[in-house]
Structure 1
Amino acid sequence: MSARGEAQQELRALYDRGALAGAYPAVPQLLARLEEAADDDALDRAGRLLARLNPADVLAAHPGTHVVHIAVTGRSTTAGLVPALTGRLARHGLLLIPYAAGSGGYVQELADPASGLYAHRPSITLCVLDPLTVWDRVRPPWQPYEVALEAERQRLLLAELARAHAAHGPPGATLVLNTVPLLRRFAHQLTGHAQRAELGACWREFNADLLRMNDPGAGVAVLDLEPLTSAGVRADDPRLGAYADAHCTAELLAAYAREAAHLVRAERGDAKKCLVLDLDGTLWDGVLAEDGPERVRAAHSLRAGAFGHFRRTLEQLASQGVLLAVCSKNDPEPVARALAAHPDWPLSSDDFVAVVADWGSKAEGIRTIASRLGITPSAVVFADDSTFEREVVRAGVPGAAVVPLDGEPAHHAERLLADSWFLVPSVTEEDRGRAARYRERERRDRGRAGATDYRSFLSGLGIEVDVGPAAGHETARIAQLSLRTNRFNLTGERLSGAQIRCLGKEPDALVLAVRAADRFGDDGVVGVVLARRDAAGLHLENMVVSCRVLGRGIEDAVLAGLLHAARDDGLPAVHATWRRTPANEAQAAFCPAHGFETADDLGDEIRYRHGLRHLPPVPVHVRLRLRLGHQQAQEVESCTPSSI
């Protein structure tokens, strides 16, 4: 029996035995096998099966399961979306707690602050705009300009509903809209070709205006359905529309659910960071050990050219901050020669932040790459054309995404992009410079290896740290740090860009960006401090520092500076909290190492207090500047930072 068939049978057997809730952590891997087989029907059946589970039963068996509260509403019946969404979210380890509005009530649901939708407290609201959106208010005889007017009225209504959602929904909640397919049965009611062209132009302007409403900071996201319909997904079924008021096909709802699940993952900060590639049959045509570095190809033939197209996809991903790495079963010397100066592609060894070429397990190779980069192995996407190697990695690197390539290179790019593993709410300048910063980090590591001792190495770095109120353009980066940083995240709290903006408007709140640079380059925004002040003192609600700068004393300098600032401002104490997550165990000792005392130990949460009597110095190798209000920045040595 195929792996797909085994996965289907196992899911069904678990459900029939009443054991599916207890086995929920195993569900993502089972669904991944169905995904790899591209069996949409099997995935839909799995979604319907999972939708029958009571979320409370899953949480009782696995309290740490990641939960997503989602409300689904729309102009017509969208009942089929919830099972599809349940399966797609489970594929990513998420448990859906849904609210499904009644048919056609989306305006009332979104406009009324007392509606059941807002009572559900959804972090995501899906407002599904079906293909009859606009058309239900157009009466014959009509002309394209009348459709354009009605489309504009609809857009203005949606803008009002988006504002209502921002006002009445939970802080940081996102309203998801979508573009609307233009159905042939409407366009072809026009018998003039010129009028059909005019209608097409008006409709595309309507969809373009919808897409321009996408604003992560305002809590609005817009899914573009055109790539789905252009790939052959039929938008509507006239019979279901006429007899069941269901104007989206099951196929469209399943594709929509997949895109929505990718968006949910991005909103949660679960984007992958590094793409690890095989070489033979993946990056180039040929077998390096047999053909040699000069004869593997990615150009000059139709088949080799398909590898070249895949390479251009990789270049595009890398330009937006996706880290590229290689894990290949080959000898290191020919791999280095092939990557250094092959005439068929501009990608070289400099474009890969890590290369592991040996004959060991690829699971171990991926763990080595993750360790070198300072990321968790689960932040990796692995692409390989060997079923055996994919199974090795799937078993040996839990949480890593595995992309099923095969012997047809023309499909490589489509399969790599199918699950949008690298999707983020928005790409920042820090993202675009990420690979360069990892190369700077490599130069630092070489400098460290050549230094007589680590202290002298740090002293020679010329580290400069600037701490100050976050500028508007830094909000996206700060949200990204909050969502994606695991190791140095004192509480594990995840905040979206909208939540960061809301926090920054509160009078006693501080949203402080931590910026760093040294003689090897400018790291940009590498951390954030979220704090409040009241009569009891300064409360550090969270402190997040990027893993790529840990070990340079930056986090120590920031905390020491804050303690000095609090004392100089006459505050009685500084309070901080550490909350256990799967990745931040080591940070439980961070506050005590700087003189904090335990105020309350709740096991997985420890609350600390610093009485500001004995303050730690700012590390001597760090030049710290604090700008905690609107005053001018002041330099901080080992004490006396600017006041809070």
Structure 2
Amino acid sequence: MRETVTAPATPKAPGADEPHGPGPGPQPGRTGAADRLRALAADGRIAAEYPAVPALLAELSQGDDAFAALQRAGRLLAREDPGAIHALHPGAAPATVAITGHGTLDALTAPLTAEFARHGIPLTTLTGDHDAWQRDLQDTASPLYRPGTDLALCLLDDRIVFGELPVPWGPEDAARAVAAKLALLERLAGHYAEHGTGTLVLNTLPLLRRHLHQLVDHRSRTELSFLWREFNAGILRLAVRHPRLHVVDLEPLIADGGPVRDSRLAAYAQVHLGEELLSRYAREIGHLARTLRGRAKKVLVVDLDNTLWDGILGDDGPDGIAAATTYRGEAFGAFQRTVRQLGSQGVLLAVCSKNDREPVLAVLRDHPDMALREADFVRINADWQPKDGNLRDIAARLNLGVDSFVFADDSPFECGLVASSLPAVSVVRLDEEPALHIDKLLADGWFDVRELTAEDRLRAGQYRSEAERQGLLDTTGSFEEYLHALGVRVELSPVRDHEIARVAQITLRTNQFNLTTRRLQQADVRRLLASPGHLVLAVRSRDRFGDNGVVGAVFARREGDVLHVDNTLLSCRVFARGIEQSVFAALLAHARDTGARTARASYRPTAKNHRVRDFYPSLGFATVTAGGAAPDDAAPDGAEVFFEHALEELPERPGHVHVDARFS
């Protein structure tokens, strides 16, 4: 296999070095972004100034020529060494992607490099030999199985079937061939699930007219069409059975793009998938990589005027705006329904609008056109303050970082302002054409997760209940009185089967109260649950205002008379309620009662978990030593710190918390 190292990125604003005066504000400029990227490459400054790269790529991703522009950018970035980038910027954790397949796939490297760089991930690609996919999947010594390979891409096309058919052939021959190929893929996926350490990615296969129309009768064409769809459905079902497998469905990508391939390149160079389709595929793989690293966004913040409805409320009044009944209004209504659909799946919705608050609330409560209502939003900031400041306010009130935010607005000025002052926010630049709002919002899969959990569906309601808790806090004399009145109840016990997806999600998405930032997939959680001596504990909480569900997890293992705590995590929604202290009081008591003499733990500092650096010392752990390699997302000066507890004097459980702890 050939190894290609490719380049990095973490966010910085578009035009961050340009002055902001009065006028239209920062504008997306694809030509300017390309020129700036070429200048960085020419001066050899990409590695040193990598924070500019994602913003430049974000500009290039706008417009009809986005995929071609990103391909060109990817070729520049592919010259950089991810190891050198990581050495300069420890927060830019490199990824390794092994690529195998049936046809010639050289054109995939550049768009993959660009798409990964958009999400702050330097990339090393390992490209296999032509048509070696079956051998690569069978051989555990191939780079697909190499430790440290994050994604193993096996990119297939229709030739794996039609290239093996006899001449002449009929639907019955195709049926036998696809059944054999599906059985082969099932075996190979199972083999990878058993021996691989990364995520295997397969894809559905396009059915081309040139094959379908070799059958001259309509009945045979119909038979081939439905057996091909059953073949693709079978490939998709493999992902349900194998947790280390992901399947990219090429059909929607083909529907949105151009032809599947160029027939001349397919005939002469064995390029069976075209450059634009490969670029769209690369974008999906970039989204997958971001998801696997726990970087899914949590909050969608939307503007109102000419974003959720047609018109300007302050000028036109409630009777002059529309989200239904007119041609343009219907397009805005469709956008509202899409936003609400996202909200129903755990995406937190908020408003950031330059408007007077009371008229906005009146529209959201009573206007007949609205698909979105006041109750759909966890926060409504409608005032005349700068929008970057309002986004900071929303983040503070939700106890989330702005890097969890997506901001959608039709104003180039507001989009430029937010991109410049809050580069961690992902900006969706809408425009005057509301029919395109949905496509622009969904283009980058900002909210993608591997699996939706019950907690996801309840998240918005849980955040809204925070207002009731805040009301209780405001009416009590002290924080201690508030905690006693809250009535916190905690359940600590081994993770149940239906909670595995949620616990894996916590390891991926929790950054603040995450002592080691070790990320786990569902298969990893299952493996630990099945391992003798391991404790994989779910932390569940509720109080007088409702059930918070699974809010944390503890990973530990017993070796003789030593309890090793591998990681501790807690959702930011339930900070400062005594939950974490109660959990450890129960855990350490159980360890001592079952013969342990020592508990050991560690803390790996990152840019986001600094607030828990003193967590273990606060429970009576003594610092043993500091050192070792920093984690991938560690702060530059972050070295792992090790702690030990003699289990002689255990921490006290906070008196206001009721704990139900079971360890088997």
**By the TM > 0.5 criterion, same fold?**
yes
Aligned to 2:643: 608
- Relative contact order: is structure 1 or structure 2 higher (C-alpha 8 Å, sep ≥ 6)? 2
Distance 1:116 1:302 in 2: 54
Distance 1:355 1:106 in 2: 52
Deviates more, 1:530-539 or 1:213-222: 213-222
Q: CA deviation at 1:218?
A: 2.2
Q: CA deviation at 1:64?
A: 2.9
Matches within 5 A, 1:554-633: 554-602=579-627, 604-629=639-664
Q: CA deviation at 1:216?
A: 8.2
Distance 1:470 1:317 in 2: 28
Asked if the contact 1:516–1:522 (Cα under 8 Å) also holds between the matched residues in 2, the reply is yes
Give the % identical residues: 47
Aligned to 1:175: 200
Aligned to 2:15: none
| Structure 1 pair 528–2 and aligned structure 2 pair: CA distance change class (3 A) | closer
Distance 1:306 1:161 in 2: 45
CA offsets per residue over residues 95-149 of structure 1, 9 Å max, x none?
1111111110011111111224323631111100123231111122222232122
Aligned to 2:261: 236
Matched, 1:4 2:48: no
Distance 1:459 1:133 in 2: 66
What is the aligned counterpart of 2:411 among 374, 379, 386? 386
Asked if the contact 2:61–2:67 (Cα under 8 Å) also holds between the matched residues in 1, the reply is yes
Matched, 1:13 2:48: no
Deviates more, 1:449-458 or 1:186-195: 449-458
Q: CA deviation at 1:371?
A: 1.1
CA offsets per residue over residues 433-482 of structure 1, 9 Å max, x none?
11111112221111111122222221122221111111111111001100
Q: Which amino acid aligns with 1:129?
A: L
Q: Which amino acid aligns with 1:509?
A: H
Q: Secondary structure at the match of 1:53?
A: coil
CA offsets per residue over residues 554-582 of structure 1, 9 Å max, x none?
11110111111112112111111111011
Distance 1:596 1:215 in 2: 43
Aligned to 2:113: 86
Matched, 1:66 2:101: no
Q: Which amino acid aligns with 2:556?
A: A
Distance 2:143 2:342 in 1: 41
Q: Secondary structure at the match of 1:421?
A: coil
Asked if the contact 1:101–1:117 (Cα under 8 Å) also holds between the matched residues in 2, the reply is no
Distance 1:129 1:109 in 2: 13
RMSD: 1.4
Aligned to 1:403: 428
Distance 1:242 1:48 in 2: 25
Q: How many residues align?
A: 627
CA offsets per residue over residues 143-164 of structure 1, 9 Å max, x none?
2232122112111111111122
Matched, 1:550 2:575: yes
Q: Which amino acid aligns with 1:628?
A: F
Aligned to 1:430: 455
Matched, 1:35 2:61: yes
Asked if the contact 2:189–2:242 (Cα under 8 Å) also holds between the matched residues in 1, the reply is no
Matches within 5 A, 1:218-229: 218-229=243-254
Distance 1:453 1:120 in 2: 53
Q: CA deviation at 1:390?
A: 0.3
Aligned to 1:136: 163
Distance 1:243 1:346 in 2: 53
Q: Secondary structure at the match of 2:232?
A: helix
Asked if the contact 1:466–1:626 (Cα under 8 Å) also holds between the matched residues in 2, the reply is yes
| Structure 1 pair 109–217 and aligned structure 2 pair: CA distance change class (3 A) | closer
CA offsets per residue over residues 185-225 of structure 1, 9 Å max, x none?
00111111121111111111111111111138620100111
Q: CA deviation at 1:37?
A: 3.3
CA offsets per residue over residues 59-101 of structure 1, 9 Å max, x none?
2332331211111110121111111100110011111111111
Aligned to 1:112: 139
Distance 1:589 1:330 in 2: 43
Q: Secondary structure at the match of 2:368?
A: coil
Distance 2:88 2:515 in 1: 27
CA offsets per residue over residues 216-235 of structure 1, 9 Å max, x none?
86201001111111123311
Q: Secondary structure at the match of 2:239?
A: coil
Aligned to 2:12: none
Distance 1:97 1:15 in 2: 18
| Structure 1 pair 269–138 and aligned structure 2 pair: CA distance change class (3 A) | same
Distance 2:350 2:495 in 1: 33
Asked if the contact 1:133–1:180 (Cα under 8 Å) also holds between the matched residues in 2, the reply is no
Provide structure 2 residue ranges, at least 5 long, that are not aligned to the other structure.
1-26, 628-637
Asked if the contact 1:294–1:338 (Cα under 8 Å) also holds between the matched residues in 2, the reply is no
Using the size of structure 2 for normalisation, the TM-score is 0.92
Q: Secondary structure at the match of 2:265?
A: helix
Provide structure 1 residue ranges, at least 5 long, that are not aligned to the other structure.
630-644
Asked if the contact 1:539–1:574 (Cα under 8 Å) also holds between the matched residues in 2, the reply is yes
Distance 1:152 1:625 in 2: 52
Q: CA deviation at 1:536?
A: 4.5
Q: Which amino acid aligns with 1:624?
A: V
Q: Which amino acid aligns with 2:39?
A: A
Asked if the contact 1:216–1:497 (Cα under 8 Å) also holds between the matched residues in 2, the reply is no
Asked if the contact 1:329–1:360 (Cα under 8 Å) also holds between the matched residues in 2, the reply is yes
Asked if the contact 1:217–1:497 (Cα under 8 Å) also holds between the matched residues in 2, the reply is no
Deviates more, 1:131-140 or 1:507-516: 131-140
Matched, 1:354 2:393: no
Distance 2:81 2:293 in 1: 23
Using the size of structure 1 for normalisation, the TM-score is 0.95
Aligned to 2:22: none
